[in-house]
Structure 1
Amino acid sequence: MQALKHILYFADGEFGPTQAFRRAVALAREHGARLTLMDVTIESGIGADLVKRFGLADDVQQSEQRLWALTHLAEDWVQGQPARLRVTIGTPFIEVIQAVLRDGHDLVIKPVRERPSSRGLFASTDMHLLRKCPCPVWVDREPEHAAPRQPAQPTDANADPRCIRVLAAVDATQPDSRQLNRTILDTAGAVAGRDDAALDVVHAWQAPFDGSLPGAGPVDHDVQLADVLGLLEREHAAALTALTADYRTRLNGGDTHLARGEPAATILAHADALASDLIVLATLSRPREPGLFIGTTAEDVLQGAQTSVLALKPEGFVSPVS
């Protein structure tokens, strides 16, 4: 992970010491980075007459309450350089991305907002940020059965959450993506090294055909198919070996994994089988035309992920939010 200078923690309505918050505090301390704590009040659209009649808190009052909550969170947990506090009114993902563009944040960390679906973990705001935020976004899932935590000093183990297993998802054969793949590996390796975690590298590949070879006769079809698949597998294995050659000493009990299958499903299956705490991936293989914010594989991984995700963008990515 590159040296961090300005971390943005987006509370997203969660004002306790979540794992994401404690990770943001720990990273800011280690990197000597400025830390900003932010939340957003969604515009209610409720008229002043209804607010007065029913004794409701208007948008400004809600923002003041959120700022009070962030203030107490910072007082209890942030030591040393004081955190900046910011509460705005608007659409959450737009407000966060505009803050990143304006203030030059180099990492956004937020707690996951679980959606009521068994298919995936991330809610709408999470997905918008993962797709469109120009800097890396770490959406952190709270551990299951986590015990309530009391305010602690930053040296307290509770204040510094750790990953046990990190999974880096790469496409070792994607043209022009070597640098982005190395960024994924460097980032995943830095997280794993910091946490003394195992690092796994997964590359999934598919044959560019559906099991039938054009022009193959009925007798030799199976033999030709096996030969072609074997050749493709060796090419993918060689590409993965070359890509990860400089990272073998950083796996720390993890491994490289080459698997044939639909890429997103294969990545998610490995994350589940390995009990990965974090998936590190790029949401685009390279800069695309305006209007296309995310690659198909990344989209499907994010839609089905059941664990924390750290999403990176390629150099040159331009957010559609301005």
Structure 2
Amino acid sequence: MRAARQAAWVASRVGAKVTLLHAAWAEDGTGPIDVAPGAEAELDELCMLMGADGARAGYEFVKGHPWHMLVRRALAGDADLIVAGKRSTTERTRRRVGSTAMRVMRKSPAPVWLVKPDHDLTHRHVLASTDLSAVSELAVESAAWIAGQSKGELHVLHAWNLTPEQQRDSSSMTESEYNALVEDARAHALSALEHSVSGLETDPELQLERGVAHLEIMKEVEEQHPDLLVMGSLSIGGRPGFHMGTVAERVLGQVDESILAFKPGDFVCPVALD
């Protein structure tokens, strides 16, 4: 329900249509099953609620694993955005993202928005993480749009550090030389970050942190408790999509908040249409 209403929230603001996919597939993944009695009536009611939210909505029944059906739609160009519920697995696994959601996140060429089950869909605080790449710029622009539509705060986080070469060279430096190197690197990172957000319609609060990216993201999430975490550079470009990249792999399974993630332009989807 939350995911559908979130999709309606977006669609009503951009003039898009929402298509609900109901996958008649066994929960244990063994194969297709009959559509549950009353499913059509429930979907009709949900579409009416989404219509009340200002969105055009319809639904389809499909035979296949939910993640596979969603990814195929995105691959075929039938989905500009996938919105799904963020359902936790068992407490024993301590993972915040279920296996279906994680597969969609890893393999979909389209952006994926995972919605926290109990979220009120009001985005008072949006946190965007950027590594200043092209896909991160898209993520930050989208985060700014969401914050603007919600009249919420936008925080943009960039984690920086000395390059491996700078770290090697620093071993022979004096303390004053090292401090100057660090300050110069920080100033360069800040300048690049400020330039990357200069065209945003929503004025962001910049957070420049020295450290390892995934650790800084988790620290900010734990301290700020944002309504939405937006990330770019989710996957390793040019390689099959079951590789998400170190930062995303370490963050996604630990975050309770809703997540919106983007893929780079050279992402290679591992799912075939035929």
TM-score above 0.5:
yes
Looking at structure 2, the residues matched to 288 and 245 of structure 1 have their Cα atoms a distance apart, in angstroms, of: 29
Instruction: Tell me what 2:115 maps to.
Output: 140
- Superposed CA deviations along residues 247-291 of structure 1, whole A, max 9, x for unmatched, are 3x612xx51010011101101211222221111111447732335
Equivalent position amino acid for 1:238 in 2:
S
Instruction: Tell me what 1:163 maps to.
Output: 123
1:237 Cα deviation after fit: 1.6
Instruction: Tell me what 1:52 maps to.
Output: none
Change over 3 Å in CA distance of 1:93–1:223 after alignment to 2 = same
SS of 1:225 mapped into structure 2: helix
TM normalised by structure 1 equals 0.73
SS of 2:156 mapped into structure 1: strand
Equivalent position amino acid for 1:165 in 2:
H
Looking at structure 2, the residues matched to 215 and 189 of structure 1 have their Cα atoms a distance apart, in angstroms, of: 38
Looking at structure 2, the residues matched to 37 and 199 of structure 1 have their Cα atoms a distance apart, in angstroms, of: 30
Equivalent position amino acid for 1:130 in 2:
M
Q: Greater shift after overlay, 203-212 or 100-109?
A: 203-212
Looking at structure 1, the residues matched to 99 and 202 of structure 2 have their Cα atoms a distance apart, in angstroms, of: 35
Looking at structure 1, the residues matched to 228 and 106 of structure 2 have their Cα atoms a distance apart, in angstroms, of: 17
Matched, 1:131 2:114: no
Instruction: Tell me what 2:11 maps to.
Output: 28
Looking at structure 2, the residues matched to 119 and 269 of structure 1 have their Cα atoms a distance apart, in angstroms, of: 18
Supply the RMSD in Å over aligned alpha carbons. Answer: 3.0
Instruction: Tell me what 1:84 maps to.
Output: 58
TM normalised by structure 2 equals 0.85
- Superposed CA deviations along residues 109-168 of structure 1, whole A, max 9, x for unmatched, are 112111235854211111111111111111011336x7xxxxxxxxxxxxxx32001111
Q: Is the 8 A contact 1:287 1:315 kept in 2?
A: yes
- Superposed CA deviations along residues 183-236 of structure 1, whole A, max 9, x for unmatched, are 12211111011000100110002334599746845xx55444333322322221
Instruction: Tell me what 2:162 maps to.
Output: 207
Q: Is the 8 A contact 1:216 1:224 kept in 2?
A: no
- Superposed CA deviations along residues 21-54 of structure 1, whole A, max 9, x for unmatched, are 222123222322121111223246889xxxxxxx
1:86 Cα deviation after fit: 1.5
Equivalent position amino acid for 1:250 in 2:
T
Looking at structure 1, the residues matched to 78 and 25 of structure 2 have their Cα atoms a distance apart, in angstroms, of: 23
Instruction: Tell me what 2:202 maps to.
Output: 250
Change over 3 Å in CA distance of 1:222–1:119 after alignment to 2 = farther
Q: Is the 8 A contact 2:239 2:268 kept in 1?
A: no
Matched, 1:287 2:270: no
How many matched pairs?
A: 269
Looking at structure 2, the residues matched to 68 and 227 of structure 1 have their Cα atoms a distance apart, in angstroms, of: 67
Equivalent position amino acid for 2:224 in 1:
L
Matched, 1:187 2:187: no
Looking at structure 1, the residues matched to 15 and 66 of structure 2 have their Cα atoms a distance apart, in angstroms, of: 27
Equivalent position amino acid for 1:280 in 2:
V
Looking at structure 1, the residues matched to 102 and 137 of structure 2 have their Cα atoms a distance apart, in angstroms, of: 24
Looking at structure 2, the residues matched to 46 and 261 of structure 1 have their Cα atoms a distance apart, in angstroms, of: 44
Looking at structure 1, the residues matched to 63 and 77 of structure 2 have their Cα atoms a distance apart, in angstroms, of: 17
Identity value in percent: 26
Equivalent position amino acid for 1:183 in 2:
L
Looking at structure 1, the residues matched to 29 and 252 of structure 2 have their Cα atoms a distance apart, in angstroms, of: 31
Equivalent position amino acid for 1:40 in 2:
A
Looking at structure 2, the residues matched to 266 and 45 of structure 1 have their Cα atoms a distance apart, in angstroms, of: 36
Q: Select the residue among 43, 65, 69 that pairs with 1:95.
A: 69
Q: What does 1:55-134 align with in structure 2 at a 5 Å threshold?
A: 59-62=33-36, 65-79=38-52, 83-102=57-76, 104-117=78-91, 120-134=95-109
SS of 2:209 mapped into structure 1: strand
Looking at structure 1, the residues matched to 170 and 228 of structure 2 have their Cα atoms a distance apart, in angstroms, of: 44
The runs of 5 or more residues in structure 2 that have no matched partner are: none
Looking at structure 2, the residues matched to 139 and 46 of structure 1 have their Cα atoms a distance apart, in angstroms, of: 25
Q: Select the residue among 231, 237, 246 that pairs with 1:296.
A: 246
Q: Is the 8 A contact 1:139 1:310 kept in 2?
A: yes
1:94 Cα deviation after fit: 0.7
1:59 Cα deviation after fit: 0.9
Instruction: Tell me what 2:225 maps to.
Output: 275
Q: Is the 8 A contact 1:212 1:225 kept in 2?
A: no
Q: Is the 8 A contact 2:170 2:178 kept in 1?
A: no
